[in-house]
Amino acid sequence: MSNKDEYWRANIRLVMGCLVVWFVVSYGCGILLAPALNSIHILGGYPLGFWFAQQGSIYTFVVLIFFYAWRMNQLDRKFGVEED
Amino acid sequence: MSLQLMTYLVVGATFALYIFIAIKAKASTTGEFYVAGKGVHPVLNGMATGADWMSAASFISMAGLIAFKGYDASVFLMGWTGGYCLLAMLLAPYLRKYGKFTVPEFIGDRYYSNIARVVAVICLITASLTYVIGQMKGIGVAFSRFLELPFETGLVVGMVIVFIYAVLGGMKGVTYTQIAQYCVLIFAYTVPAIFISLQLTGNPIPQLGLGSTMADGSGVFLLDKLDKTLVDLGFHAYTLQKGSTLNIFMYTLSLMIGTAGLPHVITRFFTVPKVKDARSSVGWSLVFIAILYTTAPAVGAMARLNLMNTIEPEPGVSLAYADRPTWFKNWEKTGLLKFKDKNGDGKIQYVGDKKKNEMVKVDRDIMVLANPEIAGLPNWVIALVAAGGIAAALSTAAGLLLAISSAISHDILKGIFAKGMTDKQELLAGRISMGGAILVAGYFGLHPPGFAAQVVALAFGLAASSIFPALMMGIFVKRVNNIGAICGMLSGLGITLVYIFWFKGWFFIPDTNMAPNDAAHWFLGIAPEAFGSIGAMVNFAVAYSVSMITPPPPEHIQHLVEDIRVPGIIKR
């Protein structure tokens, strides 16, 4: 298997991992599990499910994109496919 | 200084700034006109994308929706931010690597078909134009409300301003103007939020204030107090879900996919120098967007609480209509706030029971604009909010117009019908089509078909069901061919359009709908606004299965896909 295919597989693994987190914080904690999580309160008076839907998911998205960009840049170098 | 004079000054100063930047950065080549010559720093590009993305809908409308829908309005917060994850990981770096100007250009090349390119142009123009119509109306309303002009005059002034800087400046001008507009709009949004958060909770950070206790010494959490106030009056609790879970799920998905499929946002990431920059630039965009989007829930909840407390200062004690504050009277004049004394006691009863409720109309779009007045903030803050709303509407309209003009001049004219065009002619055609698009949008803005919410739904549904799947499969699934992609785009687009028209009326003509537009008649309880997600799934399924039974793409297309998957150059 060539270097470039290895790179692509590593990329797909990374994207899948990130999208699992993306799904869990928004559709999971923010929607499907929100009613159950609302009995827990954080940061003072925030019901947890409500917090995920209106605050937490957005913060996670930001972190997720920068994490992805950082890991991809590492992969680019590791497999020697970066731009000149 | 009077509010009127203050507003003229603040709005006038911001305008002078935008026009100055547009003239300074006049585009001279086609590259600069469409993508700013690929020389924009990722952080600055992120800021400009933020202004491009956050329209009058985000700035004026969203917090109002949150104020009245509470938890259920989370679909907008998650939907309009989560789409950036899809954009960063699935599209932006690859499209940047491909290195062309427009979205239809990529689709036409990847699916080696001019028909695919034309279909993509049709999707792009429909989605963008409907979106611009909404912005034009927003521009008209903002100008007429704050400069106290008639609506029509306000709209024409707005059209002229958009024309001047979008048409003359092109992408380079627009990018730098949008950076200035971002600064204006984010300052205008956060300053009143900080003031109000301090007043209510003593915490200057609205994101934390929303979770804090009230500053009145009662020790009650703000959200608990809001829930209790609303439930006592017969409304639904603010922090709890009201609609169906499936609908909320699909609605969020549709907005997310639509976000990643809207051509004017995708095009932004063609303007950064490197693939590496495309990845981080999406992150920076979301940082700048998140500042407003995490403030909006606080603005919504606090505005609702202030409104309730104004009308019912003590539990069980209603405000007498004769004692209503000035902002109440001002908004009554616009017809967006209406009171009807049903029981004839001269007091205002604002309750959940429709029969007894005397606040017969509280338009949710007035909340952000009225919020500083309700909280009694100084005039300069109110003037600032006016300038911010106008900046949001103008910047988005300009970005969308650019996407439309490049689709017509670059994809249809130069790409297919007039291949021998010089750069200069192409630039001229781009400017003429932009002028044409402004006139069309202005016409619909002057004669609004009365479907603001449907317009937004259509724009997102279209982008989600047609453009996003074609782009994503073009990168990730080598086997998808020309016939598959065309069938996929047309079926996804078609089913979404039919579903929307079925409940909203054919081409939005009133009374032509085939079934009443309510949850009982919707397919599985999914609202027309949420149906773009189903359309996208249909697109994926059709494109894949049709491709499997037709010949695979030729070898050079397979090489093209392999090339865009890596940032560097592949040696063969």
How far is the C-alpha of B86 from the C-alpha of B468, rounded, in Å? 10
Cβ proximity of B151 and B398 under 8 Å: no
Whether A44 sits inside 8 A of B78 (CB atoms) is no
Residues 6+ apart with CB under 8 A from B450: none
Helices then strands, counting H and E runs in chain B, come out as: 25, 2
How far is the C-alpha of B341 from the C-alpha of B465, rounded, in Å? 47
Of residues A38, A59, A80, nearest to B239 (C-beta)? A38
Chain B residues touching residue A38 (CB < 8 angstroms): 239-240
Cβ proximity of B168 and B401 under 8 Å: no
A48–chain B nearest CA distance, Å: 10
Residue B487 CB burial class (10 angstroms; 0-12, 13-18, ≥19): middle
Whether B239 sits inside 8 A of A72 (CB atoms) is no
HEC-encoded secondary structure of B446-487 = HCCCCCHHHHHHHHHHHHHHHHHHHHHHHHHCCCCCHHHHHH
Of residues A31, A43, A61, nearest to B81 (C-beta)? A61
Cβ proximity of B104 and B466 under 8 Å: no
Whether A54 sits inside 8 A of B297 (CB atoms) is yes
* Bridge partners (DSSP) listed for residue B361: B338
Candidates B101, B88, B36, B116; CA nearest to B547 is B116
DSSP B510: T
Q: Please give the pLDDT value at position B539.
A: 95
Cβ neighbours, 10 Å, residue B204: 12
- Which chain A residue shows the shortest CA-CA distance from B80? A58
Whether B249 sits inside 8 A of A47 (CB atoms) is no
Q: Please give the pLDDT value at position B37.
A: 45
Chain B residues touching residue A76 (CB < 8 angstroms): 276, 567-568
Residue B314, helix vs strand vs coil:
strand
Candidates A67, A62, A22, A25; CA nearest to B288 is A62
Best mutation target among B74, B203, B208 (most A Cβ atoms within 10 Å) is B74
Of residues B245, B274, B283, nearest to A65 (C-beta)? B283
B17–chain A nearest CA distance, Å: 30
How far is the C-alpha of B433 from the C-alpha of B427, rounded, in Å? 10
The residue extents of the domains of chain B are 3-307+375-450
How far is the C-alpha of B430 from the C-alpha of A9, rounded, in Å? 41
How far is the C-alpha of B456 from the C-alpha of B423, rounded, in Å? 34
How far is the C-alpha of B477 from the C-alpha of B485, rounded, in Å? 11
Whether B71 sits inside 8 A of A34 (CB atoms) is yes
* Bridge partners (DSSP) listed for residue B436: none
Chain A residues touching residue B84 (CB < 8 angstroms): 61, 65
Q: Please give the pLDDT value at position B451.
A: 46
How far is the C-alpha of B292 from the C-alpha of B428, rounded, in Å? 37
Amino acid at B191: V
| pLDDT tens, residue by residue, B186-245 | 998 999 999 999 988 988 999 998 888 888 878 888 888 888 888 888 888 888 888 899
Across chain A, which has 84 residues, the per-10-residue mean pLDDT values are 83 95 94 90 88 94 95 89 76
- Residue B249 vs residues B127, B207, B378, B531: alpha-carbon distances, Å: 22, 24, 41, 11
Residues 6+ apart with CB under 8 A from B330: B373
How far is the C-alpha of B40 from the C-alpha of B229, rounded, in Å? 49
How far is the C-alpha of B465 from the C-alpha of B257, rounded, in Å? 8
Of residues A11, A35, A55, nearest to B207 (C-beta)? A55
Q: What is the DSSP string of B370-401?
A: HHHHHTT--HHHHHHHHHHHHHHHHHHHHHHH
Residues listed for chain A: 84
Cβ proximity of B70 and B240 under 8 Å: yes
Residues 6+ apart with CB under 8 A from A2: none
Interface ipTM > 0.90: yes
Q: Please give the pLDDT value at position A68.
A: 95
Q: How many CB pairs under 8 A join A and B?
A: 137
How far is the C-alpha of B276 from the C-alpha of B88, rounded, in Å? 11
- Which chain A residue shows the shortest CA-CA distance from B225? A45
How far is the C-alpha of B274 from the C-alpha of B271, rounded, in Å? 9
Cβ proximity of B85 and A27 under 8 Å: no
Low-confidence ranges of chain B (pLDDT < 70): 1, 25-39, 144-148, 165-166, 168-174, 271, 334-335, 447-455, 457, 508-510, 570-572
Residue B362, helix vs strand vs coil:
strand
Of residues B78, B88, B240, nearest to A68 (C-beta)? B88
pTM to 2 decimals? 0.89
Q: Name the interface residues of A facing B (CB cutoff 8 Å).
A: 4, 7-8, 11, 15, 18-19, 22, 26-27, 30-32, 34-35, 38, 42-47, 50-51, 53-55, 57-59, 61-62, 64-66, 68-69, 72-73, 76, 80-84
Whether A62 sits inside 8 A of B287 (CB atoms) is yes
Q: What is the DSSP string of B186-242?
A: HHHHHHHHHHHHHHHHS-S-HHHHTTSB-TTTT--BHHHHHHHHHHHTTPPPTTS--
DSSP B554: P
Candidates B242, B230, B169, B139; CA nearest to B402 is B169
Residue B326 CB burial class (10 angstroms; 0-12, 13-18, ≥19): exposed
How far is the C-alpha of B38 from the C-alpha of B389, rounded, in Å? 29
Candidates B80, B336, B46, B297; CA nearest to B189 is B297
Cβ neighbours, 10 Å, residue B127: 29
Cβ proximity of B386 and B191 under 8 Å: no
Candidates A30, A7, A36, A66; CA nearest to B76 is A30
Whether A55 sits inside 8 A of B213 (CB atoms) is no
- Superfamily of B3-307+375-450 according to CATH: Sodium/glucose cotransporter (1.20.1730.10)
